[in-house]
């Protein structure tokens, strides 16, 4: 029996990389996807996420490194010999076959005769039992996508790879399908690895997200961790909107870092700072727009000076449904964005109004101002 350190069903990439001529699409990376997890590779177009997925599928030969699945090194196995299956954005359903036969395809190819029970179960899982005798063109985009998922799951792969599977759907349907895919994954319990450029999609579905940039994994973590504790400006900006204040380190107490920004003082917990933060050096202090309290200057007398209290003037406002977005001119951050829930809106907060912004130190994060 083979001895190995990867004895569970984890997907493990070890030093895996891909070059095309002199161009490096994926720099050598190490990544472990725990068995049974919903894992997302998230990044902008061209960052190498599809190439990484295709190396796991066996559709792309890595230039270096290994791919293992459980205790099996699959690096040199062809795709059909790997216990994985892939769902593509294009669905790739057979137009002349009905839904039942599309889902049954993988079983019939293996020579199985009695497929009804398994296909019915799979159609129930994706809630398409009623549509079994329809042809693909008679279904909606979301339903077709669910057929593609059922077809990919029928042979019980250990890992399901999803390459931008919701990219062709409109926003509303995409949101429904995100929840649907999450439900299906929880029910079948196998590992899903999902490629997307949509941060909301990755955060809604995945237990763990790898944020990729320029062929590298920039940060790995749970959606909440990545959002609340980004380690680089790329991750901070890719996952939502960040206000980044370039501030000078004034002092450190061991628990908190005090920084100067314009005429204000900022406080950042040491544990939330990813930068070296030497006294006199610079740190980018980040604060998410919805974590800020916006107060009309006339009412701000009780807000203590010196702890994350910044003054400014409203430059613009826009109504965005559940909240209103304010853009604030301030001396420390030229386009400070603040979101205020509409129930808390103050009618005096209009362009030109003098305001005070303040927030809890617990909601800030510190980034290296020297990084690119």
Asked if residue 300 lies in contact with residue 281, where contact means CB atoms within 8 angstroms, the answer is no
Q: Report the residue number, 46 or 351, with the smaller CB distance to ligand ATP.
A: 46
Least distance between ligand ATP and beta carbon 24 (Å): 8
Least distance between ligand ATP and beta carbon 49 (Å): 4
For residue 330, the Cα-to-chain-centroid distance in whole angstroms is 31
Q: What phi-psi label fits residue 273: left (phi over 0), alpha (psi between -120 and 50 degrees) or beta? A: beta
Least distance between ligand ATP and beta carbon 218 (Å): 13
Find residue 267's DSSP bridge partners: 258
Asked if residue 58 lies in contact with residue 205, where contact means CB atoms within 8 angstroms, the answer is no
Q: Report the residue number, 48 or 136, with the smaller CB distance to ligand ATP.
A: 48
Q: Report the residue number, 211 or 277, with the smaller CB distance to ligand ATP.
A: 211
Helices 116-125/141-153 angle, 10° precision: 130
Alpha-carbon distance of 91 to 363, in angstroms, equals 41
Alpha-carbon distance of 42 to 45, in angstroms, equals 10
Of residues 75, 72, 67, the one with CA closest to residue 3: 72
Q: Dig out the tokens for 127 from the structure.
A: 């809630």
Asked if residue 29 lies in contact with residue 216, where contact means CB atoms within 8 angstroms, the answer is yes
For residue 210, the Cα-to-chain-centroid distance in whole angstroms is 7
Least distance between ligand ATP and beta carbon 208 (Å): 18
Q: Report the residue number, 178 or 324, with the smaller CB distance to ligand ATP.
A: 178
By the criterion CB under 6 A, which residues form the site for ligand ATP?
20, 23, 25, 43, 45-51, 197
Least distance between ligand ATP and beta carbon 21 (Å): 7
Alpha-carbon distance of 27 to 88, in angstroms, equals 24
Least distance between ligand ATP and beta carbon 167 (Å): 9
Backbone angles phi and psi of 171, in degrees to 5: -55, -45
Least distance between ligand ATP and beta carbon 193 (Å): 13
Q: Report the residue number, 192 or 365, with the smaller CB distance to ligand ATP.
A: 192
| E-strand stretches of the chain | 11-20, 23-33, 38-42, 64-69, 72-73, 84-88, 159-163, 191-196, 208-213, 216-221, 243-252, 256-261, 264-269, 282-287, 293-296, 309-319, 323-330, 336-341, 354-358, 364-368
Least distance between ligand ATP and beta carbon 253 (Å): 42
Q: Report the residue number, 5 or 45, with the smaller CB distance to ligand ATP.
A: 45
Least distance between ligand ATP and beta carbon 45 (Å): 3
Give the list of residues 6+ apart from residue 321 with CB closer than 8 angstroms, or none. Answer: none
Q: Report the residue number, 169 or 247, with the smaller CB distance to ligand ATP.
A: 169
Q: Report the residue number, 20 or 80, with the smaller CB distance to ligand ATP.
A: 20
Q: Report the residue number, 49 or 146, with the smaller CB distance to ligand ATP.
A: 49
Please identify the residue of the shown chain whose CB is closest to the bound ligand ATP. Answer: 50
């Amino acid at each position: 029996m083979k001895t190995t350190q990867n004895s569970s069903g984890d997907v493990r990439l070890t030093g895996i990389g891909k070059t095309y001529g002199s161009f490096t699409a994926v720099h050598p990376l190490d990544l472990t996807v725990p068995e049974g997890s919903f894992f997302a590779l998230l990044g902008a177009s061209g960052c190498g996420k599809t190439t990484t997925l295709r190396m796991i599928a066996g559709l792309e030969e890595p230039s270096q490194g290994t791919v293992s699945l459980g205790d099996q090194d699959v690096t040199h196995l062809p795709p059909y010999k790997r216990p994985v299956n892939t769902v593509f954005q294009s669905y790739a359903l057979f137009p002349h076959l009905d839904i039942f036969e599309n889902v049954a395809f993988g079983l019939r190819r293996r020579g199985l005769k009695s497929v009804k029970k398994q296909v019915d179960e799979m159609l129930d899982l994706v809630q398409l039992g009623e549509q079994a005798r329809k042809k693909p063109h008679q279904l909606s985009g979301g339903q077709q996508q669910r057929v593609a998922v059922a077809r990919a799951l029928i042979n019980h792969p250990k890992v399901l790879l999803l390459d931008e599977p919701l990219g062709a759907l409109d926003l509303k349907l995409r949101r429904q399908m995100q929840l649907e895919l999450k439900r299906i994954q929880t029910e079948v319990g196998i590992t899903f690895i999902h490629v997307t450029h949509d941060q909301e999609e990755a955060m809604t579905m995945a237990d763990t997200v790898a944020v990729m940039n320029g062929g590298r994994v920039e940060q790995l973590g749970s959606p909440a961790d990545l959002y609340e504790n980004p380690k680089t400006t790329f991750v901070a900006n890719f996952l939502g909107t960040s206000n980044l204040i370039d501030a000078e380190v004034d002092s450190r107490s061991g628990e908190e870092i005090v920084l100067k920004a314009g005429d204000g003082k900022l406080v950042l917990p040491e544990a939330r700072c990813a930068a070296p933060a030497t006294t006199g050096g610079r740190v980018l202090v980040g604060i998410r727009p919805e974590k800020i309290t916006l107060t009309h200057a006339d009412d701000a007398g009780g807000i203590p000076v010196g702890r994350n209290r910044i003054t400014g003037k409203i430059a613009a406002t826009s109504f965005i449904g559940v909240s209103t977005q304010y853009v604030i001119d301030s001396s420390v951050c030229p386009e400070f964005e603040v979101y205020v829930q509409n129930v808390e809106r103050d009618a005096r907060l209009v362009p030109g109004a003098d305001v005070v912004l303040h927030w809890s130190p617990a909601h800030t994060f510190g980034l290296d101002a020297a990084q690119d």
